[in-house]
Amino acid sequence: MAINQTRDDMVDSIISVFRSEGYEGASLAKLSEATGLGRSSLYHHFPMGKEDMANAALDRLGILMGGDILGPLAGPGSARQRLADFGAKISGFYADGRQPCLLDVFSVGDAARLFQDRLRQTNRAFIQAITDLAASTGASPAEAARRGEDALIAIEGALIVSRGLASSDPFRRVLAELPDRVLGTEK
Amino acid sequence: MAINQTRDDMVDSIISVFRSEGYEGASLAKLSEATGLGRSSLYHHFPMGKEDMANAALDRLGILMGGDILGPLAGPGSARQRLADFGAKISGFYADGRQPCLLDVFSVGDAARLFQDRLRQTNRAFIQAITDLAASTGASPAEAARRGEDALIAIEGALIVSRGLASSDPFRRVLAELPDRVLGTEK
DNA sequence: GTCTATAGCTAGATAGAC
DNA sequence: GTCTATCTAGCTATAGAC
């Protein structure tokens, strides 16, 4: 769309289409419109077509996760402050619960068959980052792992229920309660 | 597929395809193969094509929910026993976490635009059934509503993470912990 | 109620000019 | 690097025989 867009800009547009439409629902027409590029230009950048675009989307998701989103969890500051920063990133990344997660929409159909291994890696990285933080606050390894897994479950589930109810409330509530649940200080 | 199949059998096969492939990924070829009916036979039963099939799937999901799945929650027996029965139904319905939920796969793309209102109703019915049980055990209305919503969030999230990790473990753990979370007796 | 055959379209993908 | 034009395959949907 934008003039002089970088490859990251292109991939961000592509991710947006995959998230909203799913893998099979993301037609080249929609991907073309979102990026502002003609079909042939897309094939110039992604010779293998849609599969290449999805791999580029997963590449970028991995980079965003490892850096901007999960990064705060291992950063400086108190555990509670790091979780607050993380929550803000998550809220923005999922547009207050309105934007689906690629880990969800790629877990059915052709995408599930094509990208199974990559999905597993990204799920693991997410869980591990929360697990590490929980462990650093004194939780046992098993308990920390449980909280890491629960955090991803809660976020993914909240996204579905928020879309299902057409309300951001469940997503916001889950994010608000997340620090206490990770730190084991709920109730 | 089966000889002498009822309409419910047909719709069950259709649901299975929608769950595995998503709305856009569920081609008539796959729906035809799963039901054992030719394209034209499908159009005889569902004149509006795929959209009719999806509506039939949502009709049946509503009936299964209202009866077999959520029914135990309002049945006889202790609250804990009812939750155990419910958990067993959920485990079977989602094939131990391997089968996606229609409320998830229909929440993106064309299906989200077509069936938004129906999805909201079904989400609400699910949450309400758990909420009612929690309220009947003494939880305040607000707390009961929170637990109802959390139960659906946990189940939907666990399905995604279980598929993402290619392991039933997260789904099983969430189901095992669900009674305590609904009854407020966790930890 | 199911079938074969096919229409009409859109999907993903390619060729080649500029 | 982007475009127009086009290919083939698969898609949804329909017609009409049985």
What is the rounded distance in angstroms from the CA atom of residue A44 to the CA atom of residue A47? Answer: 6
What is the rounded distance in angstroms from the CA atom of residue B130 to the CA atom of residue B150? Answer: 9
Q: Kindly report the nearest CA distance between residue B74 and chain A, in angstroms.
A: 22
Residue B45 domain flag: yes
The pLDDT value recorded for residue B2 is: 52
What is the rounded distance in angstroms from the CA atom of residue A44 to the CA atom of residue A7? Answer: 12
Contact between B36 and B2 (Cβ < 8 Å): yes
Report the domain count for chain A.
1
Please name the residue of chain B whose CA is at the shortest distance from the CA of residue A181.
B187
What is the rounded distance in angstroms from the CA atom of residue A95 to the CA atom of residue A89? Answer: 10
Task: Determine the Cα angle at B156 with ends A50 and B185, to 5°.
Answer: 155
Residue B2 domain flag: no
pLDDT confidence band for B130 (50 / 70 / 90): very high
* Nearest beta carbon to residue B161 from set A109, A152, A166: A152
What is the rounded distance in angstroms from the CA atom of residue B135 to the CA atom of residue A48? Answer: 54
Those residues whose C-beta lies under 8 Å from the C-beta of residue A185, and which sit 6 or more positions away, are none
Q: Is residue B37 pLDDT above 90, yes or no?
A: yes
Kindly report the three-state secondary structure assignment for every residue of A123-179: HHHHHHHHHHHHHHCCCCHHHHHHHHHHHHHHHHHHHHHHHHHCCCHHHHHHHHHHH
What is the rounded distance in angstroms from the CA atom of residue A46 to the CA atom of residue A117? Answer: 21
Tokens for B144, please give them: 């009961």
- Cβ distance of B120 and A165 shorter than 8 Å: yes
The pLDDT value recorded for residue B3 is: 56
What is the rounded distance in angstroms from the CA atom of residue A86 to the CA atom of residue B129? Answer: 33
What is the C-alpha end-to-end distance of chain B, expressed in Å?
47
Contact residues on chain B for A170, CB-CB shorter than 8 A: 149, 153
Residue range B111-126: mean pLDDT, rounded: 98
Helix boundaries (H) for A47-140: 50-64, 79-93, 102-105, 109-136
Across all strands, nucleotide nearest B51 (CA–C1'): D12
Contact between A77 and A29 (Cβ < 8 Å): no
- Cβ distance of A108 and B112 shorter than 8 Å: no
- Exposure b/e, A136-149, CB count within 10 A at least 16 = b: ebebeeeebbbbbb
What is the rounded distance in angstroms from the CA atom of residue B152 to the CA atom of residue B89? Answer: 14
Residue range B103-125: mean pLDDT, rounded: 98
Q: Which of B78, B93, B94 is nearest to B185 (CA)?
A: B78
pLDDT confidence band for B175 (50 / 70 / 90): very high
The dihedrals phi and psi of B124, each to the nearest 5 degrees, come to -65, -45
Q: What is the CATH number of the domain that holds A50?
A: 1.10.357.10
CA–C1' gap, B43 and D16, in angstroms: 14
Across all strands, nucleotide nearest B37 (CA–C1'): C2
Residue A2 domain flag: no
CA–C1' gap, B14 and C6, in angstroms: 25
- Which candidate in A105, A161, A171 is best for mutational testing of the B interface (most B CBs within 10 A)? A161
* Nearest beta carbon to residue A157 from set B119, B153, B164: B153
Contact between B136 and B78 (Cβ < 8 Å): no
Question: Does A158 contact B at CB distance below 8 Å?
Answer: yes
Contact residues on chain B for A50, CB-CB shorter than 8 A: none
- Cβ distance of A160 and B163 shorter than 8 Å: no
pLDDT-flagged residues of chain A (< 50): 1
What is the rounded distance in angstroms from the CA atom of residue A106 to the CA atom of residue A112? Answer: 6
| Parent domain of B121 | 7-183
DSSP 8-state secondary structure symbol assigned to residue A101 = P
- Cβ distance of B170 and A156 shorter than 8 Å: no
Question: Does B80 contact A at CB distance below 8 Å?
Answer: no
Instruction: Kindly state the percentage of chain B with pLDDT values over 70.
Output: 98
Q: Is residue B77 pLDDT above 90, yes or no?
A: yes
Which residues does strand C reach (CB under 7 angstroms)? A 26-29, 39-40, 43, 47-51; B 36-41, 44-45
* Nearest beta carbon to residue A120 from set B116, B146, B164: B164
Residue B96 neighbours by CB distance under 10 Å: 12
pLDDT confidence band for B5 (50 / 70 / 90): confident
* Nearest beta carbon to residue B104 from set A19, A104, A119: A104
